[in-house]
A and B are shown apart, each in its own frame.
Chain A
């Protein structure tokens, strides 16, 4: 069984950047396709973007384009999500999750398992 373990909580100043890691352990090696999802306090789930290893490229939700970078390294089975120009509204728990690709786009697939989440607090 694959497990995803994320880096620890972060406290950041407005205008700075944060980089959260997500490392896979256990389970078979192979494609490492990861989505990142965030959840603001008391709010729902919000997809930020994903990385498909066979193409070696990321795809981002329009809301985050230009401000987020998602990477993934199959050799180390680690994904990173960097969010820049942080503001108070970015305070949230950030999750990584493994994408299961269907016959078409990987973004048509489901997310399982999920990391434990990383709380990022943005405050002056």
Chain B
């Protein structure tokens, strides 16, 4: 089955930059979305269509793409950014379309 691979964890000091990657063979042909999930909460949309930020999401969150690897960058990390982050995209099989999530990355703010 199709998989989106993320690093299990990223550690970063406050004020520094954290980069979370998401890799998958079909990513050059599909949009990628990013979600933040704090403990005990539902996921929150951070980035849509690779690089777009919904209203209300701080500018320090940004998305980028490069072939089969996409990335979420958090610039000037704050303590409140400590959370799990997931990428999401789509795949197709036998004429059916499926949504798929990345394996998830836990961001720890030191």
The residues of A with any CB-CB pair to B shorter than 8 Å are 35, 37, 44-47, 50, 59, 61-62, 95, 97, 100, 102, 105, 107-117
Interface residue SS majority, chain B: strand
Interface residues in B, total, Cβ within 8 A:
27
Expressed in whole angstroms, the Cα–Cα distance for A61 and B94 within the complex equals 12
Q: A69 CA to B100 CA in the complex, in Å?
A: 19
Contact A111 B88 (CB under 8 A): yes
Contact (Cβ within 8 A) A95 B43: yes
Residue of A nearest to B31 (CB): A108
B90 at the interface (CB under 8 A from A): yes
Whether the Cβ atoms of A105 and B90 lie closer than 8 Å is yes
Residue contact A45 to B101, C-beta cutoff 8 Å: yes
Where the two chains meet, the residues of B that have a C-beta atom closer than 8 Å to any C-beta of A are 1, 30-31, 33, 35, 37, 42-45, 48-49, 54, 84, 86, 88, 90, 93, 96-104
Residues from chain B with Cβ under 8 Å of A111 in the complex = 33, 35, 43, 45, 88, 99
Q: A110-B48, A111-B88 are in contact. Are A59 and B98 (CB under 8 A)?
A: yes
Using Cβ atoms and an 8 Å threshold, which residues of chain A touch B88? 45, 110-111
When the two chains form the complex, which single residue of B30, B54, B86, B101 contacts A112, counting CB atoms closer than 8 Å? B54
Among B48, B90, B104, which residue has its beta carbon within 8 angstroms of that of A100?
B48
Contact A105 B104 (CB under 8 A): no
Contact assessment for A112 and B45 in the assembled complex, using a CB-CB cutoff below 8 Å: yes
A contact residues around B103 at 8 Å (CB): 44
Residue of A nearest to B6 (CB): A44
Enumerate the 5 nearest inter-chain pairs by beta-carbon distance, A residue then B residue, closest first. A107-B97, A112-B45, A44-B104, A114-B42, A110-B33
Judge whether A44 and B86 touch: CB under 8 Å.
yes
Task: Please name all residues of chain B whose beta carbon is closer than 8 Å to the beta carbon of A116 when the two chains form the complex.
Answer: 42
Question: Contact between B97 and A59 (Cβ–Cβ < 8 Å)?
Answer: yes
Q: How far is the CA of A120 from the CA of B27 in the complex (A)?
A: 33
Q: Are B33 and A107 in contact (CB under 8 A)?
A: no
Q: Which residues of B contact A95 (CB under 8 A)?
A: 42-43
**Given A62-B1, A111-B45, A112-B45, do A35 and B99 touch, yes or no (CB 8 Å)?**
yes
CB < 8 Å neighbour of A47 from B45, B54, B93, B99: B99
